[in-house]
Chains A and B, each alone.
Chain A
Amino acid sequence: MRRRGRALLAVAALLATLMPAVSATAGAPARPARPAREAMLYRLTAQGHFASGARVRGHRFRINDVREIIVETQWWYLTSDRTERVKLITQEGHVYQEWENTLAPAPGRRGRTQAAGTTRIPVAGTSITRHALTGRWRLEVWLDGDSQPRAVRPLSLTR
């Protein structure tokens, strides 16, 4: 293992020596190859959906007013279908509910792929209103079987 590591270092050093020379010959500045982009959660928003049809973006909602909370995600640089998991965590740290969405990447601008997920979290008439489950909750967004969430956002539920 140690010997193989040394060999790799030697190759890397050789490439580092040759590359500027090659670039100079072509008459263009050196431009190192970009590393492969990792799946990236670009945007995470929460909107309260009211009986009037109005949608209000925010992170604090009154449980007796809002009908549902719509969580939208936007991902970049997915190379294949992935699964996002949206977890709603109570103030006490328990998982209230978990939702799964399939993310299907599509070509986007500047060569990156884009995928979007939408999760509708019912509030009216659910255990949240029936048992007045209020407090400082949080949203967690996970990707596939990751051991850590990709994003955590506060979500306050009040009366």
Chain B
Amino acid sequence: MTVSFASVVSVSTTITFTGIAVNPVGYLAATAESGQVTLYWSTPVSPQYSDSVIALRNPTSVPTETLTDFTSYGNGATVGSSTVIKVLDTDGASVVDGGLTNGLKYYYKIFNAYKDLYSETSNLSIDSTPTPGTGGTPAWTYSLAGAGASLGIPLTQGSRVIAARGNRLFALDRATGAQDWITSPLGGSVEGWLVPWPKSGTYSDVLGDWTAYTLYAGATDGKAYAFDTSGNQVWASGVLGDGIQATVSPQSWDLEFLNPDFQLTYTDGAGGPMDVVFVATRNGSTTNNTVSALRGFAASGGTPDGGTSIWTFDPQNLVPPAPMDIVVAAPQPTSAPHNLVIVGSYSAGQTQPSLWAINGVTGVNGPAGALVASKGVLGNGPPAHLGDITSEVTFGYACWDCWEVNTIYAGTASGYVVALNLPDLTEKWAANFDAGSPIVGYIWEDLYDPGTLYFTTQDGYVRAIRDNGASATELWRTATAIPSASSPVVDEDRGTLWVGGSGGRLVEIDTASGAMTTAFPGEAAETLGDPTVDFVGGRVYVGSSAGRLHAVPIPLP
């Protein structure tokens, strides 16, 4: 049939779409500030049917309304009791919802849209509460829908604060909480901290240069991951175990070890600098856990063979075998002259060693000769056995302005702090200061006053103690009355520490006297985790059981 268009005035037709799947957005995140909420999302990659995104906002509850196919919704329209926020794809993947009331919780549900067809969004809703940043309220709060709790310490680097939620990592602007990037989902959740580390061969240039870092993380899929500072995955290791729960520990070729033997060992093959990443496993078994050294960043060519194993320390191969239980604390490399990797593990019900000193240099030749010392039983009285190492292993420095480590501190499930000498793990002292509750998180050594330690126990007490060499004395203890108190973060310049906890509480404690101030930046049904302090910006960043990340101005009112 031939049609002459000269005589046609207008043509109207109906197009029927078949086989089109309008998938939901990939994630939904929100940053609340004073008077506004910014929403972030990713449109589907495959198939790419998306020409706009519609968010429904409701001031009282999660929107239950759905959008009707072949119906157009304009920005500001009302659907049931919700308001439409429409974003065309040319406007990017974020939108600011302004003019909101501080202290009022807003609920959002998001739909991907294509030609007035709408996705189902059964699991992508979020709530967000603008706050003024005064009176102990957050300056901003970042939320990621459905990501799960994240109580580990967020980290700051350059102008960013970076953290993990579930199986994604993200970077935010420290001042505003604006999302800089978020990764695609990893194969598992990140339980430990995300660690930014300066790339070898670049340290002299690295101060303030965010791009000179690599980010490392371990995940519950048993792999270690490396990312650049734009959130792009650089490498993933093979599966090293059932899971990696402990924070992974990178070590710079030219920053930390300062040891010719180490530097000769860890090269890119051509003698150039190469970083190394120490990783420990959390297996289902209590006996077959391992510690591996992986190739990190190589200055010569980026990351050749990044993530491949250099050596694996498997104490079952020792003669006699010494089985290793799960490791939940980061393997800690020490600087010269010892160049050890210190690992605290569980103890299989006090039947196995739980503290290990591995030679970080000879370890490259396999487990034989790599074990410097292991520790299970103490000789100076109770506790007779170290038991499970539940805290991170902390280094005690010989002086405040040097790199020399002469002591390690570990917290146990029975509430003991144990101090041991390096490199042989001989005992200095063990004491529990009436703490019958497990020590949580980590023991913090005062930067300017080595030997002064701060720690929290699971029953909510915060203590300051003093290492006197052969014994320790308690300086003060403060009952926070928080049943789920976090580890402390200390700002030695301010003489202040902070602890998060249940009921949305953040506690500020004077490190000289133990005097306490409490604020409630979180909700009553929210437990705040390990904080980190922004020395420059005057804020504490703290994650929560509700999957939020709060930026709280300090000092608390």
Known: A97-B166, A122-B282, A145-B120. A90 touches B545 (CB 8 A): yes
Question: Interface residue count for A (Cβ, 8 Å)?
Answer: 31
Say yes or no: is B547 at the interface (Cβ < 8 Å to chain A). Answer: yes
- B245: chain A residues at CB < 8 Å are 122, 125-126
CB of B35 closer than 8 Å to a CB of A: no
Q: Which of B146-202 contact A (CB under 8 A)?
A: 146-149, 151-152, 166, 189, 191
Rounded to whole Å, the gap between the CB of B313 and the closest CB of chain A is 19
Contact B390 A125 (CB under 8 A): yes
Residues of A within 8 Å of B215, CB to CB, are: none
Number of contacting residues on B, CB 8 A? 47
B545 touching A53, Cβ below 8 Å? no
A52 engages B349 (CB within 8 Å): yes
Q: In the assembly, what is the distance between CA of A97 and CA of B152, in Å?
A: 14
How many angstroms from the CA of A90 to the CA of B546 in the assembled complex?
9
**Among the listed A68, A98, A132, which residue makes an inter-chain contact with B458, where contact means beta carbons less than 8 Å apart?**
A132
With A132-B483, A132-B484 already in contact, the answer to whether A98 and B148 are too (CB < 8 A) is yes
Contacts A92-B546, A97-B189 hold; do A125 and B149 have CB atoms under 8 A apart? no
Give the residues in chain A near B152, CB-CB below 8 Å.
127
Chain A positions within 8 Å of B349 at CB level: 51-52
A90-130 near B? 1/0 per residue, CB < 8 Å = 10111111100000000000000000000010101111011
Q: Is A64 in contact with chain B by the CB < 8 A criterion?
A: yes
Q: What's the minimum C-beta distance from A13 to chain B, rounded to whole angstroms?
A: 33
Among B259-267, B375-383, B416-424, B521-529, the stretch in contact with A: B521-529
Say whether B440 faces chain A, with CB atoms less than 8 Å apart.
yes
> With A97-B189, A120-B284 known to touch, is A127 a contact of B525 (CB < 8 Å)?
no
Does A64 contact B438, Cβ atoms closer than 8 Å? yes
Contacts A124-B388, A132-B484 given; 12 further ones with Cβ under 8 A?
Answer: A64-B438, A67-B286, A98-B166, A125-B245, A125-B326, A125-B390, A131-B151, A131-B484, A131-B527, A133-B149, A147-B120, A159-B458
In the complex, the answer to whether B282 meets A131 with C-beta atoms within 8 Å is no
A52–B415 Cα distance when bound, in Å, is 21
Q: List 21 A-B contacts (CB under 8 A).
A: A52-B349, A53-B286, A64-B413, A67-B326, A68-B284, A90-B149, A92-B546, A94-B525, A96-B148, A97-B148, A98-B148, A122-B191, A122-B243, A124-B326, A125-B346, A129-B458, A130-B151, A130-B486, A130-B487, A132-B440, A133-B149
Query: What are the residues of chain B within 8 A of A122 when measuring CB–CB?
Result: 191, 220, 243, 245, 282
CA distance A52 to B287 in the complex (A): 11
- Sorted nearest first, the 5 A-B pairs with minimum C-beta distance are A125-B328, A92-B525, A51-B349, A127-B151, A97-B148
Is B242 an interface residue when CB atoms closer than 8 A count as contact? yes
CB atoms of A126 and B484 under 8 A apart: no
CB distance from B468 to the nearest CB of A (A): 28
Q: Does B122 contact A (CB under 8 A)?
A: yes
Least CB distance, B354 to chain A, in whole angstroms = 12
Q: Which residues on the A side are within 8 Å of B545 (C-beta)?
A: 90, 92, 94, 96, 127, 131, 133
CB pair A94–B149 under 8 Å, yes or no, is: yes
